[in-house]
């Protein structure tokens, strides 16, 4: 199963993106993606805009998941931005967007791309998680929230260790 920690790195997180239009958000995220992936920025923008022409990737609740496939990349990449100011993204609920998770995948990816999109949508449907993302101001904090919350449900929880604290046993 695809995990967000396999898709995104701290360098791919923008904690306060300044943009006023959907196109500007896509351009800024494509520029970041070009630096991280080594891909052509124009090609990334075109892929993202082409997908938006098919239908909005604004899924509601202030969230958008723009995505596209490219023949020139060898694996999936995720990029996340929390916008400084919510913008119109033609979302299905007509609400402005302030959380954007962009996914880029190889053209050869079949169902893995769809599974990754489904995982991202499931994670971002969590209202308390989105509130934490909206309240975070650093890339590191946002990355931690995204990746920790998206751990597989069967993952072992962190071990509980007992340590004496002034005559009591404390759990951490």
The pLDDT of residue 136 is 95
The tens digit of pLDDT for each residue in 14-66 reads 999 999 999 999 999 999 999 999 999 999 999 999 999 999 999 999 999 99
Which of 58, 59, 63, 67 is catalytic? The answer is 67
The pLDDT of residue 26 is 97
DSSP string, 24-88: HHHHHHHHHHHHHH---HHHHHHHHHHHHHHS--EEETTEE--EEEETT-SS-EEEEEEEEEEE-
Q: What is the mean pLDDT of the chain?
A: 87
Q: Which residues are CB-neighbours of 118 under 8 A, at least 6 positions away?
A: none
Q: What predicted TM-score, i.e. pTM, was given to this entire model?
A: 0.85
**Higher per-residue confidence, 74 vs 156:** 74
Average pLDDT over residues 93-120: 94
The pLDDT of residue 157 is 39
Q: Is 113 a catalytic residue?
A: no
How far apart (Å, rounded) are the C-alpha atoms in residues 44 and 27? 9
Look at residue 104 and give its three-state secondary structure.
strand
**Higher per-residue confidence, 7 vs 161:** 7
Q: CATH for 4-153, among 3.30.70.20, 3.30.1330.200, 3.30.1390.20, 3.40.930.10?
A: 3.40.930.10
């Amino acid at each position: 199963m695809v995990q967000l920690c396999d898709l995104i790195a701290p360098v791919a997180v923008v904690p306060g993106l300044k943009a006023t239009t959907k196109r500007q958000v896509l351009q800024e995220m494509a520029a970041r993606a070009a630096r991280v992936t080594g891909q052509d920025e124009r090609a990334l923008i075109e892929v993202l805009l082409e997908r938006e022409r098919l239908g909005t990737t604004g899924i509601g609740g202030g969230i958008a998941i723009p995505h596209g496939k490219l023949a020139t990349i060898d694996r999936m990449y995720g990029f996340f931005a929390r916008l400084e100011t919510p913008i119109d993204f033609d979302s299905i609920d007509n609400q402005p967007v302030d959380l954007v998770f962009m996914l880029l995948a190889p053209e050869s990816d079949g169902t893995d791309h769809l599974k990754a999109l489904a995982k991202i949508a499931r994670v971002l449907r969590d209202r308390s998680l989105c509130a934490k993302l909206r309240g975070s101001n650093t890339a590191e904090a946002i990355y931690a929230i995204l990746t920790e919350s998206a751990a597989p449900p069967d993952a072992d929880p962190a071990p509980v260790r007992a340590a004496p604290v002034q005559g009591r046993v404390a759990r951490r």
